[in-house]
Amino acid sequence: MWKRCLGWRLFFLGVVSLGPLAHAADEPARLSDFIRPLVGTQGEGNTYPGPSAPFGMVQLSPDTDKELWETASGYEYSDKSIIGFSLTHLSGTGIPDLGDFLFMPQIGKPKLVSGTKDKPAAGYRSRYSHDNEAASAGYYKVKLDRSDVTVELTAGERAGMMRMTFPKSDYASILTDLHHVLNGGKWKVVWSRVRVEDNSTITGFHLVNGWAKERPIYFAARYSRPFDRAEIYNDGKLVKYNTYRFRSSLEAAGAYMQFLVYYHTRQNEAITVKVAVSAVSAANALKNLDAEIPGWDFQQVRDATRDKWDRELAKLQIEGSKKEKETFYTALYHLMLAPNLYEDVTGEYRGLDQNIHLADGFTNYAVFSLWDTYRATHPLFTLIQPKRDADMINSMLAHYDQSVDHLLPVWSLQANETWCMVGYHAVPVIVDAYLKGVPGFDAARAYEAIRTTAMNPNYDSVATYAKLGWVPFDKENESVSKTLEYAYDDYCVAQMAKALGKADDYAYFMKRAASYKNLFDPSVGLMRGKDSHGNWRTPFKPHVYEEDSIGTRDFTEGTSWQYSWYVPQDVPGLISLMGGRDKFVARLDSLFTFQPPKESADTGETQGSIGEYWHGNEPAHHVIYLYSYAGQPWKAAERLREVVATQYGNKPNSLSGNDDCGQMSAWYIFTCLGFYPVCPGSGYYVIGAPQVKSATMQLANGKTFTMTAKNLSEKNLYVQSVQLNGRDLDQPFLLHDAVKNGGTLAFTMGPKPGEWGTKPVLPQ
Amino acid sequence: MWKRCLGWRLFFLGVVSLGPLAHAADEPARLSDFIRPLVGTQGEGNTYPGPSAPFGMVQLSPDTDKELWETASGYEYSDKSIIGFSLTHLSGTGIPDLGDFLFMPQIGKPKLVSGTKDKPAAGYRSRYSHDNEAASAGYYKVKLDRSDVTVELTAGERAGMMRMTFPKSDYASILTDLHHVLNGGKWKVVWSRVRVEDNSTITGFHLVNGWAKERPIYFAARYSRPFDRAEIYNDGKLVKYNTYRFRSSLEAAGAYMQFLVYYHTRQNEAITVKVAVSAVSAANALKNLDAEIPGWDFQQVRDATRDKWDRELAKLQIEGSKKEKETFYTALYHLMLAPNLYEDVTGEYRGLDQNIHLADGFTNYAVFSLWDTYRATHPLFTLIQPKRDADMINSMLAHYDQSVDHLLPVWSLQANETWCMVGYHAVPVIVDAYLKGVPGFDAARAYEAIRTTAMNPNYDSVATYAKLGWVPFDKENESVSKTLEYAYDDYCVAQMAKALGKADDYAYFMKRAASYKNLFDPSVGLMRGKDSHGNWRTPFKPHVYEEDSIGTRDFTEGTSWQYSWYVPQDVPGLISLMGGRDKFVARLDSLFTFQPPKESADTGETQGSIGEYWHGNEPAHHVIYLYSYAGQPWKAAERLREVVATQYGNKPNSLSGNDDCGQMSAWYIFTCLGFYPVCPGSGYYVIGAPQVKSATMQLANGKTFTMTAKNLSEKNLYVQSVQLNGRDLDQPFLLHDAVKNGGTLAFTMGPKPGEWGTKPVLPQ
């Protein structure tokens, strides 16, 4: 997903050990103890280390940066100082936002500015050491060098706790900075308010003009000890009655609000702050807080959240080394950090129309990074989170109902549409869930939303595409990617139309699904931009990322060389266009070996490069699996192993690209299992090569699906044979129907490519 | 109420004709036809000419100015051009705010800036002529010279209509400017949003940082004809997708939003825009609109509102000349323009805590100009609007419940406390209503709020006052006015405590009520500032308004000479301090003849000057009636006649000072009836001299109270005798108990002072 140009940054640092697979003696007993929240916090992963409940509404986490675009989650492992601890964070996005309501303990005369990385002492920033830092499921801890205060964080669903253990001091304070947001040097707080409800309770609000254009959010905080004194600051000035015109010192509003409480502390005195947020009102933030955390038991909240993680992780367990388990369960953890619960304990939530709605009959979720997550995240949810997946779909349908443009979400972020990325990929999410029989949403209503979205007269030249057969580059940027992605989405619309008996719609959308053919230039064997008169983009530079300095390009975060593989709905058709399997494979081979010319190098999209294959960004995610369609699954096995070994792991720098709300992790999880949803909505998975010795999936219907990989080892990476429920499976395709009813998928692995899968025939 | 310095502006222009009192042949049959909304729009009155229902939530009205502090209601009769028509206005305040959501029709290429008074053509402003203007109850009309569009306005309670009659044009448009507010050169719109719900409906929002610090308000508008085209502008730039990153053209948000719709119009084609507001949400604004004005019949809405005014005016009818009736019924009209309904058809409203509340068991009102309206407005409401008065009190109690400072409203403005002016005058409003037996609010709850407010530890040195016996000028500005007003408010607390059998509280607050004595300096015979050590303000300048350039002063919008009369709760005590009736009267006489020194002249508070008596501001309002306490009621009669004749009338410039949400008008109404509530909470009125030949008041209990003034004429201005229910009333005091049970108050007037009222004894 979108990042600014960063230059080359390669993270080939993690190597999967495929040593002894048995349980080691030093391994923890609980699955949640394998979670390493720090994974992905160094470099491009853009995850955050602080605690969150599965799909939780709050994510308490330290922020080390608020202005760098690249530090979108607020925390970069390489940074040496912490600004403070804010209540909300995005997981793995390429664009910063949230970071609402920063809390920071201080000793001595409190600072009101944050300071800089170079000079943390100029503000309230504090240096810290990773030696004094710990992060686990539902828990984060760090000692701040500046104040000698140890801060511990835990989080429930809508509320969290911060336990701050102070040294003895007559001048201890806790700052709440309402002006702090992860602004990426661009966003701003346009209004804010703070209110001292009583001597141990505050509420507040700010309206953020961020990536989400207009995002009002409220918080409530209760302090375990009444503060000795409280102060509100507006624009850095103490809010105080000047004896001329009265003003309250208990509440104030403005664009730049901060709040300070003071304490005399004893040595090692712990002061706990309970916090909650709401998108609806300060009153609801208080309700969320008091309903979720009525008491003051930090450990209880931490344990409850840890238990939740254990229950979620138990749905998909593997056999493997400690490192494998840490990598795998952390991927599962990251998978389940988004989308986020987005309704209060009252059931109220802020809709896309900025009105307050009641989530009636469903649980409302927000943060849909759909260009990323339609690929593998939501398909994985259909297996291990079907109820939540249905609720997410209901949330998307509510979004559609509230959309003045009559569109399903594209990249929606808390009552806002960011319009980030391209396509209408809510469609595959919904169609995939529908065709897999995920219960809990209304098919007719969903189809109406899907169809209306696909027929939108204004959005991104969809109407022109429907008429011409392609998006013309003289009318629309990123025209090739849009054409290709629309065609896939249209395939999905068609599949649902077919299932609903809508023959005309099926025919119409299947015709649109073939639009990819219009942009395949046989003279170059690649996808190529075409203008509204039918002329090819000339000159054609298949390895070039952008045409000019203003960002004109025919491809979305990629090149023609990369995007030409994007026909998930008709890989045989693509193979045919490319001249048959041999030519197809030869070209695919070269993707992994081609060294891009200098002009395409400096793009910021080259994380996880293997040749011009960039695993760090989503257009690559299905590409390795295309080998299986072409009868050469062993090549898939080699590349999958390479990516797993070099671009995932259990270290802060293990993720090669933005986790993108779980999509990078979902790719890893499916790949470990030995299959991947190249074409959600098709009803089948493509078999690659398993990366863990065994995996057991608990399905919502009570059935169990088990994968085993006999003889898997560092060398034995090639599939020799596959048995499904004890019967040979020769094809490298696995029907969802075979998975959903439970059963066993038994791989036998070996050190050399075998005959298995060399004569693929796509399921019909 | 507060105004900026204006220099001398005197409006001794209206003269009451006391000619033939019989109905003239040309007089209209309906009371509402006597309403002259333009009264008070020229000069200091600060009223607005547009339509409003009684106590309505919307006030559609033309704005001729948005930046001048002095044009607080948006319209100054002397201005030659109109900016446009906005949906909300304050009536008679000294500080501008509201003016939300300006609509303006244009012909030809539309302008997006408003232009200036000097160069209206530089923007969308239009010149107009008063010859083409009409204003009546529930109706306003004007022809815009620029576009030749005639705009008509009408208003229901939460919704209104604008009918725009266009010339033939291929380029007609209607602008909605969300950035327009009555900003007084100071306030600003910090955020706004517009959303095109369909091709004839928009909704919008803005958050205003105004006199009300944080005021979010929403609107909805439906157009009688679908627009040909709609455009949203952000910072003056068209909101349009640039083919790079999609953006909707149907909704946008920012600090500076405008909206344009276009039409091809036929000659004299009328396009009507229905509008409504809500402080809760855009959804509620639409609900308010559709519930209140489901159809498109402009005349029906206008007639319904006119009917409402007829019903309200019928509660207090007079006999008089057309001009007297116009003056009187317009005063009644202005009386009933505030406080304002402040809840949606759903019962939801925005509370002081900015949370959304449900008005449960009462109707919520906002805009409490209490420093003004406790004097005569609310006392008049207890007579002719007791149900609304109870609802206003319930609204104040809700405010108290929501107040983080645990204070009743001081000057509350739509979910905000402005802290404008001094004292805690919600107290007399509540106590007066309680002691008069106004039903509909909980006395125990009210007393708790009153007492807590009077005991506030932070507000304006009340705690110091309670301890010392005065507000010390070295600790607090306007210390003398605060002391005097607190003492009166405390008298009211004591009266309610007594009625509730709280003897200790009664004694405590009666002691505080005597605090005025601590600031009476017998050496000068006036009220004088005292510091915390007990030292008098030295040098003492009894005629000086402000001590220095930063606004240090011991008096609130006045001088010692003026404020020394402020002991409504113990006028006999004041007379005694001043040396008895003769000395008291001699000093009072001099108030009306004293020519203030140059240094006190340029204050902006000298509107309506008669000597140093400034009728245009509230501290004067009870002063003339003090003659009646001193046994010289004929002097009151002379001064009352002078003020009525010179400072009220039926012309735009007839009001000598800010109408202040009806207080200037309430003084006039009571004065016409011959009595005035010098001391609300005391249970009695002070008789002055009637100014209309007869008046009939319909009380809520079904009783009728009638005042007659036999022989009243231009010359016969002196009271010769008074009969209450046929029995002589020698005292110049009238008990409320005598009024509330209905009856007759019969004055006999004559050309010379008589013996009546010369031996006053205050009721106990």
Q: Are A248 and B404 in contact (CB < 8 Å)?
A: yes
Residue A410: CB atoms within 10 A of its CB come to 25
pLDDT value of residue B600: 57
Instruction: Determine how many CB atoms are found less than 10 A away from the CB of residue B589.
Output: 15
Query: What's the CA gap between B757 and B733, in Å, rounded?
Result: 9
φ, ψ of residue A430 to 5 degrees: the values are -70, -45
For A260, the token pair is 């300070």
Candidates B246, B253, B458; nearest CB to A459: B246
**pLDDT at site A605:** 55
pLDDT exceeds cutoff 80 at B347? yes
Residue among B244, B245, B475 minimizing CB distance to A243: B475
Residues of B with CB under 8 A from a CB of A: 190-191, 193, 195-197, 205, 207, 209, 213-214, 241, 243-251, 253-255, 281-283, 353-356, 404-405, 410, 417, 419-420, 458-461, 475-477, 551
The model's pLDDT over B87-101, given as tens digits with 9 standing for 90+, comes to 999 999 999 999 999
Q: Is the pLDDT of residue B21 over 70?
A: no
Residue range A620-652, pLDDT digits in tens: 999 999 999 999 999 999 999 999 999 999 999
Q: What is residue B549's predicted lDDT score, i.e. its pLDDT? A: 82
pLDDT at residue B4, as a whole number: 41
Query: Each residue of A126-167: pLDDT tens digit?
Result: 999 999 999 999 999 999 999 999 999 999 999 999 999 999
User: How close, in Å, is residue A480 to chain B by CA atoms?
Assistant: 13
Do B604 and B5 contact (CB within 8 A), yes or no?
yes
Question: Which residue of chain A comes nearest to B215, CA vs CA?
Answer: A253
Chain B residues whose beta carbon lies within 8 Å of the beta carbon of residue A420: 245
Q: Does residue A733 have a pLDDT over 60?
A: yes
Which residues of A fall within a CB distance of 8 Å from B214?
A: 191, 193, 253
pLDDT tens-digit series, residues A164-187: 999 999 999 999 999 999 999 999
- Cβ atoms < 10 Å from Cβ of B299: 12
Work out how many CB contacts closer than 8 A connect A with B.
Answer: 104
- Give the closest-approach CA distance of A539 to chain B in angstroms: 21
Task: Taking residues A643-672, report their average pLDDT.
Answer: 97
Distance from CA of B585 to the nearest CA of A (A): 34
Contact criterion met (CB < 8 Å) for B213 and A249: no
Cα dist. B585→A495, B520, B559, B579, B591 in Å? 96, 17, 19, 10, 10
The minimum CA-CA distance between B704 and chain A, rounded to whole Å, is 44
Q: Are A651 and A323 in contact (CB under 8 A)?
A: no
Mean of per-residue pLDDT scores for chain A = 94
Determine the average pLDDT of the residues in B505-519. Answer: 98
> Which candidate in B354, B460, B464 is best for mutational testing of the A interface (most A CBs within 10 A)?
B354
**In the predicted model, what is the mean pLDDT of residues A418-440?**
98
B164-220 pLDDT, tens digit per residue, is 999 999 999 999 999 999 999 999 999 999 999 999 999 999 999 999 999 999 999
Q: Are strands A169-177 and A102-107 parallel, antiparallel or unpaired?
A: antiparallel
pLDDT band at A546 (very low <50, low <70, confident <90, very high): confident
CA-based nearest residue in chain B for residue A2: B245
Asked if residues B667 and B621 have their Cβ atoms less than 8 Å apart, the reply is yes
CA separation, residue B719 to residues B666, B675, B688, B757 (Å): 21, 12, 8, 9
3-class DSSP state of A154 = strand
8 Å CB contact of A353 and B282:
yes
CB B452 within 8 A of CB B406: yes
Cross-chain CB nearest to B243 (options A207, A250, A477): A477
Residues A354, B255: C-beta atoms closer than 8 Å = no
Least confident span in A450-459, A464-473, B579-588, B600-609: B600-609
The predicted pLDDT at position B608 comes to 77
What is the structure's pLDDT at B551? Answer: 85
Total residue count of chain B as it appears in this document? 764
Question: For B410, which residue in chain A has the nearest alpha carbon?
Answer: A246
- Joined tokens for residue B693: 């030949």
Which of A199, A201, A280, A354 should we substitute to test contact with B (largest number of B Cβ atoms within 10 Å)?
A: A354
Q: Which residues of A touch B461 (CB under 8 A)?
A: 243
The H-or-E segment that residue A520 falls in is: strand A520-521
What pLDDT is attached to residue B3? 45
**What is the rounded CA–CA span in Å between residue A158 and residue A154?**
11
- How much is the pLDDT for A7? 34
What integer is the mean pLDDT of B291-316?
98
Residue of B nearest to A281 (CA): B355
Residues in chain B closer than 8 A to A190 (CB atoms): 190-191, 255
B661-688 burial: b if 16+ Cβ within 10 Å, else e: bbbbbbbbbbbbbbbbbbbbbbbbbbbb
Q: What is the mean pLDDT of residues B385-399?
A: 98
Could you tell me whether strands A215-223 and A269-278 are parallel, antiparallel, or unpaired per DSSP bridges?
Answer: antiparallel
At A600 the pLDDT is: 57
Choose among B248, B405, B459: nearest Cβ to A404: B248
Whole-angstrom Cα distance, residue B210 to residue B88? 14
Give the residue on B whose Cα is nearest the Cα of A207. B191
Report the gap between the CA of B246 and the closest CA in chain A (Å).
6
Give the closest-approach CA distance of A610 to chain B in angstroms: 29
d(CA A11, CA B284): 53
pLDDT tops 70 at residue A24: no
Nearest CA among B462, B447, B457 for reference residue B492: B447
How many whole angstroms separate alpha carbon B519 and alpha carbon B471?
Answer: 9
**Sign of the alpha-carbon torsion through A179, A184, A185, A189:** negative
Mean pLDDT of chain B: 94
Contact assignment for B195 to A353 by CB distance below 8 Å: yes
Distance from CA of A631 to the nearest CA of B (A): 39
Lowest mean pLDDT among A199-213, B411-425, B604-618, B689-703: B604-618
| Full set of structural domains in chain B with CATH | 43-313 (2.70.98.10), 358-459 (1.20.1050.60), 471-564 (1.20.1610.10)
Give the C-alpha separation, B588 to B624, whole Å. 9
Chain A interface test: which of B243, B259, B547 (most A C-beta within 10 Å): B243
Higher-pLDDT residue of A604 and B348 is B348
Share in percent of chain B as helix, strand, coil (round to 5): 30, 25, 50
For B500-511, write each residue's pLDDT tens digit.
Answer: 999 999 999 999
Query: How close, in Å, is residue B83 to chain A by CA atoms?
Result: 27
User: pLDDT per residue over A37-46, tens digit each?
Assistant: 999 999 999 9
Considering only the beta carbons, identify the residue of B282, B404, B475 that sits closest to A197: B404
Are B560 and B545 in contact, with CB atoms under 8 Å apart?
A: no
A107-120 pLDDT, tens digit each: 999 999 999 999 99
Instruction: Say how far residue A320 (Cα) sits from the centre of its chain.
Output: 25
B466-499 burial string, b = 16+ CB within 10 Å, else e?
Answer: bebbbbbbeebbbbbbbbbbbbbbbbbbbbbbbe
Structure token digits, residue B151 = 């705009």
Which member of A207, A282, A404 has the closest CB to residue B197? A404
Among A423-432, A442-451, B590-599, which stretch is predicted with the lowest mean pLDDT? B590-599
Nearest residue to B211 via CA among B329, B311, B93, B332:
B93
Q: How far apart are CA A429 and CA A404, in angstroms?
A: 22
Q: Kindly determine whether residue A281 and residue B405, on different chains, have CB atoms separated by under 8 Å.
A: no
Q: Do B191 and A193 touch (CB under 8 A)?
A: no
Long-range contacts of A309-314 (CB under 8 A, 24+ apart): A309/A31, A309/A32, A309/A35, A309/A53, A309/A54, A309/A137, A309/A138, A309/A333, A310/A30, A310/A31, A310/A32, A310/A137, A312/A54, A312/A336, A313/A31, A313/A32, A313/A34, A313/A35, A314/A31, A314/A698
Contacts of A245 in chain B (CB under 8 A): 419-420
Residue B284, pLDDT > 50, answer yes
**pLDDT of A370-414, one tens digit each?**
999 999 999 999 999 999 999 999 999 999 999 999 999 999 999
Of the pLDDT bands very low, low, confident and very high (cuts 50, 70, 90), residue A63 is: very high
- Residue A300, pLDDT score: 98
Average pLDDT over residues B571-581: 98
Beta carbons of A250 and B405 less than 8 Å apart: yes
- B118 CB contacts (<8 Å, ≥6 apart)? none
Residue B6 has pLDDT above 70, yes or no: no
- Residues in A touching B282 (Cβ below 8 Å): 353-355
Higher-pLDDT residue of B603 and A149 is A149
Mean pLDDT, to the nearest integer, of A19-45?
Answer: 80
